Structure 1
Amino acid sequence: MMKNCVHLLILIGLSVCLMSSQAWAQDAEPAPELAGEQAREEALLSAASEIALQVAEIRGLELLSEIPKGVKDREELRTMLIEQLHNEIPEEVFVAEEQMFKRLGIFEPEVNYRQLMLDLLTEQIAGFYDQSAKELYIMVGLPEQLQHSAMAHEIFHAIQDQHFDIGELLAPFTSQENGDFALARMALIEGDATVLMIDYVLYESGTLPAGRALSVADVPMITATLLEMDTEELAAAEGMSAPGMMGMGESAVPSLTESVLGSAPRIVRDLLLFPYIEGMRFVLRARANRAWSDVDAIYSAAPVSTTQILHPERYFAGELPIDVQFDAEEALGGYEPIFDSVLGELQIRSWLATHADRFEDLPDPSAVAEGWRGDRLLGYRNEAGEVVAVHVSSWENEDEAREFASAQVAIAEARYEASASHQSGEHGESWCLRHGPEDDGERVYVERWGELVLLIDGAPSSLGENGAERDPTTYLARDAVWGSLARVPFEAALAARQAEAELENEVSAEDAPASTDATDVE
């Protein structure tokens, strides 16, 4: 599974049916007495088997084998997921990403990232499909309607896994290497399961006729509504209380803002809801006027960027991102690398929106982020715990690049209440802003070179007696970036990564100890 926070959020997203803990507390049935507990568990397992057959028929994907199932209470599921969190994501990954997001102003200084994720696990549990163990865990104590829709969603993950191999689908890049790629793949997985869940609820209510190849995607009025509602409206919509959706009817509407998720930083909310909501919209558009077999075919050439999810026309046109590669470690003497990933359109939009929520007169985040073609964010930290972020992004044209660069300058000026100096050159332009004490300050440096934008945030700065900069770190890093920069077509980067993975697997197989037949052991 994943080893980074789009990273952890993807781990949660694949495994957990999300629900409002407030609504669960209001609507949950009383815990069964011990005498009836076994009967209740057997009834749940029996219902799950029936729902699996219904899901397979509704979606038109055969159940290839019986799905192993188990029943757990809420605390047992929570314990399992927390244990998986500890096993999958080392403490240093949380620390590095927290420091990077704080450096960029995406997190407030008081945010404890790991604790936030633990709190989300505590609050948002309704079911669990363990992809590595291929086992479904059902939670006792839910109202029947929610129980069945949650089962349908998670059971479909098992069917997806049988047909398309979820692990293989996510495998080419880890989320640490390319968080945008991982989010895009999760959007297909979760979006498909969310549409299935809606279809299941509509079939159960009699809105869609059973036994016919109909879907919510075939009902223009409902589909149009789902495509037009914004994220907050969808998350609070009546009847959308299954996996990944926070609403559970009118009683749950306030819980979105009062819950851990509702009060979490914007980027956490965006990352957690994106696979479900935008993934659902992607699948609805992909399914419109087509058959489910056409959606199945997408798994063999799945989306590779959140841009393709947000703008399905780009996916169907075959538009692929650019893989941006560079290094600044040698120029940042005394700093060690701690972070290396691709943000993509979704995270860049969330980054910009975080500041637009705080400061006035910033440009529209969605409009700015829409011109994204590729990016990479590197993070470096010294022994004192000081962090430098270096980000390079590629845009559709110079105007789009200028718009993003200008947004970053406006953010820096608002954050640090200082003005940036501006210079124009033959190939582009640059801005530099300094803040902090004269002998122990920091710089924010933004440079646009054609359709490329470089941001260096947090490089040390020290002024001499005449006010001139004495610390060359910013400019050494700038030269190192441009000197090492490469823009690789995504298909070439993907092929190279797959070749590396195959080689790693071959080496691992050669190094593995030979198996011993049990009959040879005394």
Structure 2
Amino acid sequence: MNRRLVAVFSAFLLVVAGCAAPVADPSAANDNSDAAVGGADPDPDPDADRSWPEDPPTDRLGWEAGYWYDESIAVDQSDGLNDSEMEAFVARTMARVEVVRELEFEESVPVEVVSRAEYRNESDASTDPVHSDWNDQVWEALLLVGEDRTIDEVFDELYGGVVLGYYSPSEGRIVVVSDDSQPTIDRRTLAHELVHAAQDQQFGLDRSPSTQDAQLAHSGLVEGDARYVDGLYEARCEADWDCVPRPSGGGSGGGSVDYPVFITIYTPYSEGPTFVSDLRDRGGWAAVDAAYADRPTSTEQVLHPTRYPDERPVEVTVEDRSSAAWTRYDTDPAADTVGEASIFATFWKHRAVDRASLQQAPGAYSPYNYTAEPSEGWAGDAVVPYRPASDETYEANPHERGYVWRTVWDTEADAEQFERAYVTDTLERSLNASEAGEDTYRVDDGPFADAYRVTRDGDTVTVVNAPTVAQVDEIHERS
């Protein structure tokens, strides 16, 4: 489980600025929602005299906190937002999100604007060192983050510089990160985070599955819904709504981006909107709503929407064959599942797939294409990290670690493709591994310098990693 993936973050600025896929609302051309919610017809001249409908006796779609979705508001962000401007901006955006998403807010949503420096300070939360060490082995098993750094360090660099904002389910509030000296809010970011608030109020966002792949899959629905809606929202701004101008300039706040890790955690934002669009095509917003009671369980389902909900991942187990010198971590669960999207990122990093394919033939609402032969056909996997059984050895040798990673594939041919991409393209070509015994390879230099045993049995491939060739059998004895 990756606790850093549990948080519901908004889309990354880097991607919003340059990689957001266009979204067209199929109902926008013949939108009758004005009459349905009791608002006036959109006026192309926002400065003209308008008379707005009376406030409804009870709450309804398209009206929030005294503002109709198509009502003009006086908001000027050139000198920041004052309290009255913030109130009007948030309330009207809530009303508009209701119209687009056809989902009612049950209560108001507090919105706070913080500087990027304040956000970095707030996000410097302490972590469980045992879990962090265990999680480092999961990312090392993916050959994405080696022994020269930790995944927490990578996330701190990435999130600290490129996050636009987030919604906190535990607090029921939105925090928007501003790079301006005076507080401003990007309208699309605000709409995105308000979708999360509506999701939380209607379906609940305070639970998370236990594995990395399932977390990314759940986020594929949650973030995909929000990204899809914020795209529809922005399309209405460009077509017929009078919208608050987006702040000029801005940037990523100087964050460092590890692109292969970014590709992994960006999966929900890239592939989620197409997944949600597919659900909506099947049965309207009701089908999207229903998915919250039966959320996707693997990134395979998000990457290939036709496999949802029927094609579930198989349960993969790894029997403990370690010697007395090694033990599993005292974590619950002891194993993680990384899934198809993370495996794609591994092969993309090490050029086992054509890097240009990432931006070739993406989904209708996706900037990237995560489909590749060595990672497609995934049926399930389990990564079990190992550490020295002696606490003294464990604490004195931070790189004395290992893992067993077992993957199961739909067919033997799929397993062969994965094995070939892992051994030939990744270990031997990318990491300069040399043969060190039967099915065993050694990487001598770099952050992934270790011993690896790779075996295939039909549709199952098992990778055993250890600091030395002699220790491979100590971590997982051959059957």
Question: Normalised by the size of structure 2, how large is the TM-score?
Answer: 0.71
1:163 to 202, 217, 241: 202
Does the alignment pair 1:401 with 2:415? yes
1:418 to 410, 418, 434: 434
Task: State how far apart, in whole Å, the 2-side matches of 1:293 and 1:412 are.
Answer: 47
Aligned residue for 1:331?
323
Task: State how far apart, in whole Å, the 2-side matches of 1:376 and 1:98 are.
Answer: 15
1:432 to 440, 443, 452: 440
User: What amino acid is the match of 2:428?
Assistant: E
User: What amino acid is the match of 2:198?
Assistant: I
User: What amino acid is the match of 1:474?
Assistant: D
Unmatched segments (≥5 aa) in structure 1: 33-38, 211-240, 243-247, 423-430, 463-470, 483-522
1:45–1:69 contact (8 Å) kept in structure 2: no
User: What amino acid is the match of 2:319?
Assistant: D
Aligned residue for 2:171?
133
2:216–2:268 contact (8 Å) kept in structure 1: yes
1:448–1:454 contact (8 Å) kept in structure 2: yes
Task: State how far apart, in whole Å, the 1-side matches of 2:100 and 2:378 are.
Answer: 37
Please state how far the C-alpha of 1:204 moved relative to its aligned partner. 2.0
2:278–2:305 contact (8 Å) kept in structure 1: yes
Aligned residue for 2:338?
343
Task: State how far apart, in whole Å, the 2-side matches of 1:367 and 1:408 are.
Answer: 12
Does the alignment pair 1:205 with 2:238? yes
1:153–1:197 contact (8 Å) kept in structure 2: yes
Does the alignment pair 1:111 with 2:126? no
1:272 to 260, 265, 270: 265
2:77–2:184 contact (8 Å) kept in structure 1: no
Aligned residue for 2:121?
79
Q: Taking structure 1 as reference, are residues 345 and 284 closer, same or farther at Cα in structure 2, changes over 3 Å only?
A: same
2:112–2:176 contact (8 Å) kept in structure 1: yes
Please state how far the C-alpha of 1:203 moved relative to its aligned partner. 1.5
Task: State how far apart, in whole Å, the 1-side matches of 2:452 and 2:216 are.
Answer: 29
1:68 to 103, 110, 122: 110
Please state how far the C-alpha of 1:295 moved relative to its aligned partner. 1.4
User: What amino acid is the match of 1:41?
Assistant: D
Aligned residue for 1:186?
219
Please state how far the C-alpha of 1:141 moved relative to its aligned partner. 6.5
User: What amino acid is the match of 1:451?
Assistant: D
Please state how far the C-alpha of 1:324 moved relative to its aligned partner. 0.7
Aligned residue for 2:281?
288
Unmatched segments (≥5 aa) in structure 2: 19-75, 356-369
Matches within 5 A, 1:404-483: 404-410=418-424, 411-414=426-429, 415-419=431-435, 431-434=439-442, 443-458=451-466, 460-462=468-470, 473-474=472-473, 477-479=476-478
Task: State how far apart, in whole Å, the 1-side matches of 2:461 and 2:304 are.
Answer: 23
Aligned residue for 1:369?
375
Matches within 5 A, 1:213-362: 260=255, 263-266=257-260, 268-288=261-281, 290-316=283-309, 318-328=310-320, 330-331=322-323, 333-337=325-329, 340-356=335-351
Please state how far the C-alpha of 1:333 moved relative to its aligned partner. 2.3
Between structures 1 and 2, the one with greater helix share: 1
Alpha-carbon RMSD = 3.8
Please state how far the C-alpha of 1:434 moved relative to its aligned partner. 4.5
Q: Taking structure 1 as reference, are residues 365 and 125 closer, same or farther at Cα in structure 2, changes over 3 Å only?
A: closer
Cα-to-partner distance string for 1:124-174 (whole Å, 9 max, x where unaligned): 233231111112234567699962211111011010011111124x2xx32
Please state how far the C-alpha of 1:67 moved relative to its aligned partner. 2.1
Q: Taking structure 1 as reference, are residues 378 and 365 closer, same or farther at Cα in structure 2, changes over 3 Å only?
A: farther
Aligned residue for 1:18?
12
Task: State how far apart, in whole Å, the 1-side matches of 2:17 and 2:299 are.
Answer: 31
Q: Taking structure 1 as reference, are residues 300 and 100 closer, same or farther at Cα in structure 2, changes over 3 Å only?
A: closer
Matches within 5 A, 1:83-98: 85-86=125-126, 89-98=127-136
Please state how far the C-alpha of 1:105 moved relative to its aligned partner. 3.0
| Percent identity of equivalent pairs | 22
Figure out how many residues of one structure are paired with residues of the other and give that number: 390
2:272–2:302 contact (8 Å) kept in structure 1: yes
Aligned residue for 1:101?
139
Task: State how far apart, in whole Å, the 1-side matches of 2:166 and 2:217 are.
Answer: 21
2:167–2:173 contact (8 Å) kept in structure 1: yes
1:50 to 81, 88, 92: 92
